[in-house]
Structure 1
């Protein structure tokens, strides 16, 4: 027997057996299925609305010939499966339809209004994190091991109260105090940097309170861990102990909540934008609903939903990068 034949072949490792590959396939599959459900729901929205959406958009006095021509132009006389197929084709080529009110391409309307919404939501999220992280860490250090009972009670009570107040109520209160009564800040539009202050504060104050409370709880738990006791025994400076050892572990558990908060901020812009007359998607979708411009409503619903789904997927990936155990536990 030859030496080559006596050596057993090395086992072939399948690419799909790698944890990162399986994780990526699962996340991508979940994202695609969720996007398909979202797109299908937005398509069915027009067909589930009672009455004729074209007649509702054009008004009760519109001539029947105009309504019929508009229905034919939009393909609403075709079988529903044919309409669904055409809808998917147009969507994947970037054609979101035409506004029945302004006669402008819906994609142009979305492209014009989306930057204002994203800038508002992202700036509010950054401000919420900048406030919540140091506040939560400080409260965790001050209230560890049962210390600072009054401080803990006051912080928890205040953060809970702030967290449950709806964003639009905070926005209305800010408009009345700082815009109407004091006249310090603008309350409409986004023409100047100062016009960002009130809507950003209205969006970030509630999430910052919730996130800081979660970070405090995680920080208290991490400070009782064995590796922190070991670090204390080595007489590591307090700054390195809290920021270099405890903080990264506390933030890992809070990352998922942070992603959910960012997604909720994007959705919360709908009401806040209308309070401050912000030229974004939130004010556009409300005016489109009132004007029964359903093509625009469909597109904005897809944009909002897709943004939340993509953000949640990115958070899952970031969490897996920081803590690979969370990826392995799903296998």
Structure 2
């Protein structure tokens, strides 16, 4: 069983396992990586099945309704669509291993080329929205939790609950449409669509960040009030420490575990939300490309984009698990 090494003023650190067993950190990382690989395999299988379950003939959609039957048959043979589903699945797995994701049925370009074009725009949008959500939610949640503890400042509590409840319940695409109408159409203060200068990032980033920020702020407020009621916080207050040290050195580190967990979920939802928000703002990212490919039945691109979004969520969850374990090593001890 794993043991901990305690040092005054420091969080618990993991010691090596007794009896020559595997080191708890190594076992923890192996478990998490194994879970990631299993989830990724299930994901790529589901993406393949869903792409092939799309109604309609992708070759006919690409060539047009007036294409001669012999041309359609030849194209299906070239793409391997006349083979059994299991053979197509094996070809799909081989392509993933070798890095060959196929070619777009519509443009004829390699799928890898399309992905390298659109992924940076989506990653920029998601990361900017995530940073904004965290930078707003954690201080707002902490300050509200401090101000409303022990039933104080009831009006502030009601206003906070109302605003965050509304923001967390509005779908991203609906908020995006409202922001476009107000700031782009009515006041003409910001661009309606596209990815040009920094001003074009404002509306899509706010549309993506508002809901996760509201949810994270609510969690941080609850955790702040819980932490402030702990015995060690009462002891710290009895020492008459300055408020800055009391809340940043003692309260903040102890509510980070819950905040990191919710932040990981928020980033996952941001990646999913980019699909609709990019469509509203004509953002040239992976979300817009995915929607266009689904409508065009361009299943090689649909498979690649679906796998990209799914693996991004899995990687975020893996990273959150590791960061939480670093912040609070007791989670590793419990599993060992």
Does TM, normalized by the shorter one, top 0.5?
Answer: yes
Residue 196 and residue 46 in structure 1: after superposition, are their counterparts in 2 closer, same or farther (change >3 A)?
A: closer
Under a length normalisation based on structure 1, what TM-score does the superposition of the two structures give? 0.93
Larger Rg: 1
1:71-111 deviation line (CA, Å, top 9, x unaligned): 11111222322222221111122111100110000110011
1: CA distance between counterparts of 2:220 and 2:188? 36
Aligned to 2:20: 13
Q: Gapped runs of 5+ residues in structure 1?
A: 1-10
2: CA distance between counterparts of 1:205 and 1:81? 43
Quote how far apart the aligned CAs of 1:228 are.
0.5
Residue 222 and residue 270 in structure 1: after superposition, are their counterparts in 2 closer, same or farther (change >3 A)?
A: same
Residue 46 and residue 242 in structure 1: after superposition, are their counterparts in 2 closer, same or farther (change >3 A)?
A: closer
Quote how far apart the aligned CAs of 1:57 are.
3.3
- Say which of 112, 117, 120 aligns to 2:125: 120
- Tell me, yes or no, if structure 1 residue 213 matches structure 2 residue 218: yes
- Say which of 291, 294, 301 aligns to 2:299: 294
**Of 61-70 and 98-107, the range deviating more from structure 2:** 61-70
Residue 164 and residue 118 in structure 1: after superposition, are their counterparts in 2 closer, same or farther (change >3 A)?
A: same
2: CA distance between counterparts of 1:190 and 1:226? 51
Contact between 2:119 and 2:286, CA under 8 Å: does it hold in 1?
A: yes
- What is the total number of aligned residue pairs between the two structures? 319
The residue correspondences of 1:145-294 to structure 2 (distance < 5 A) are: 145-294=150-299
2: CA distance between counterparts of 1:198 and 1:302? 27
Q: Gapped runs of 5+ residues in structure 2?
A: 1-17
Quote how far apart the aligned CAs of 1:37 are.
0.7
Residue 201 and residue 50 in structure 1: after superposition, are their counterparts in 2 closer, same or farther (change >3 A)?
A: closer
CA RMSD of aligned residues (A): 1.3
2: CA distance between counterparts of 1:46 and 1:119? 27
Any idea what SS the aligned residue of 2:222 has? Answer: helix
1: CA distance between counterparts of 2:317 and 2:117? 25
Contact between 2:51 and 2:302, CA under 8 Å: does it hold in 1?
A: no
1: CA distance between counterparts of 2:35 and 2:47? 18
